[in-house]
Amino acid sequence: MSIFYFIAFLTILFAVLVISAKNPVHSILYLVLTFFTFTIQYILLNAQFLAIVNFIVYMGAILVLFLYTLMLINLNKDSEPMKTNLVKIAAVLGGGCLMVVLVGALKALGVSQPVVLKNPDLGLVKNLGKVLFNEFLLPFEVSSLLLLSAMVGAVLLATKDKKTTA
Amino acid sequence: MESFFETVKTVPLNHYIILSSVIFSIGVIGVLLRRNAIVIFMSVELMLNAVNLLLTAFSVYHGDPNGQVFVFFIMALAAAEVAVGLAIIVMIYRNTNSVDINVLNRLKW
């Protein structure tokens, strides 16, 4: 029980560090740690397939993509744009109000049932694969189309256009 | 191994929802707080992940594998979104020499 709260605390701590770090590279590294705590949460829920996919796709692919983009853009601390203090206070107040409303509404619900793992095989690859390739076969194929179009779009957007580039 | 997963059984569902709400709110604050387009993008990823965790918790709570399949689709979508979004950011940087979103308020170069 306590391991959930410890990991939850770490998740929130690293998430706050992601948005408060001045250097974007530090932000990305804290984001890696945040996603790692998410992976631990998935393992605690026995969602092993999601844990592995989260580990490979998020920590492997997406964050490497972020780091490469940052390397291409070559930002440093001096060029980091910062908002004025008034806008910062307004942003924290706005987000804090959202958090207070959500948590307060949940508190009003009272104590809920504990999360019980009814079927220990629920998150295993064998079980999820059967669901994925029976009920969700068409969305699975469509998502492959989505990934293909995203790949083509990314290449098209990032390629230098000789005529329009100033 | 069984005793390891016993630990989860004592966590109420509410606490998962509260954790996800807090992380989602942190993502919202990040979007409002920063002007660097890449950090804003990372905050959006944070929000997506909060929702993923919530869907997984609900899926385990109800013993329904559909929720976890949905999280898998969200992850595929996030990968596509990141690829296109970062390409757009690179293009913006090439045109304006900055990733400051306030430069883009005129919606033209």
Q: Is A128 close to B45, i.e. CB distance below 8 A? A: no
Within a domain: A146: no
What's the CATH code of the domain at B45?
Answer: 1.10.287.3510
Strand, coil or helix: A31: helix
Q: Is B41 close to A66, i.e. CB distance below 8 A? A: yes
Instruction: Provide the domain limits for residue A40.
Output: 1-79
Choose among B8, B38, B98: nearest Cβ to A4.
Answer: B8
Interacting residues of A84 by C-beta distance below 8 A, sequence separation 6+: none
* Each residue's pLDDT tens digit, A118-150: 777 788 888 888 888 999 999 999 999 999 999
The CA distance from A5 to the nearest CA of chain B, in Å, is: 9
Within a domain: A50: yes
What's the CATH code of the domain at A62?
Answer: 1.20.120.1200
Question: Of chain B residues 86-105, which have a CB less than 8 A from chain A?
Answer: 86-91, 93-95, 98-100, 102
Within a domain: A60: yes
- Residue written as token pair 């508190």: A107
Q: Is B59 close to A122, i.e. CB distance below 8 A? A: yes
Within a domain: A115: no
How many structural domains are present in chain A?
A: 1
Q: Is A81 close to B10, i.e. CB distance below 8 A? A: no
- Cα A134 to Cα A92, A99, A140: the distances in Å are 45, 39, 10
B51–chain A Cβ distance below 8 A for any pair: no
Q: What is the pTM of this model?
A: 0.88
Q: Is A81 close to B35, i.e. CB distance below 8 A? A: yes
- Cα B108 to Cα A30, A163, B92: the distances in Å are 33, 17, 11
Choose among B5, B14, B21: nearest Cβ to A46.
Answer: B5
- pLDDT interval class at A152 (50, 70, 90): very high
Q: Is A143 close to B73, i.e. CB distance below 8 A? A: yes
Within a domain: A18: yes
pLDDT (0 to 100) of residue A163: 62
* Each residue's pLDDT tens digit, B52-100: 999 999 998 888 888 899 999 999 999 999 999 999 888 888 887 777 8
Q: What is the average pLDDT across B14-28? A: 92
The CA distance from B106 to the nearest CA of chain A, in Å, is: 18
Q: In angstroms, rounded to a whole number, what is the distance separating the alpha carbons of residues A139 and A37?
A: 29
Strand, coil or helix: A22: coil
How many structural domains are present in chain B?
A: 1
* Each residue's pLDDT tens digit, A77-122: 555 666 678 888 888 899 899 999 988 888 888 777 777 777 777 8
Within a domain: A28: yes
A131–chain B Cβ distance below 8 A for any pair: yes
Residue of A nearest to B79 (CA): A62
Within a domain: A159: no
Within a domain: A88: no
Q: Does residue A115 or residue A12 have the better pLDDT?
A: A12
- Residue written as token pair 């992850």: B75
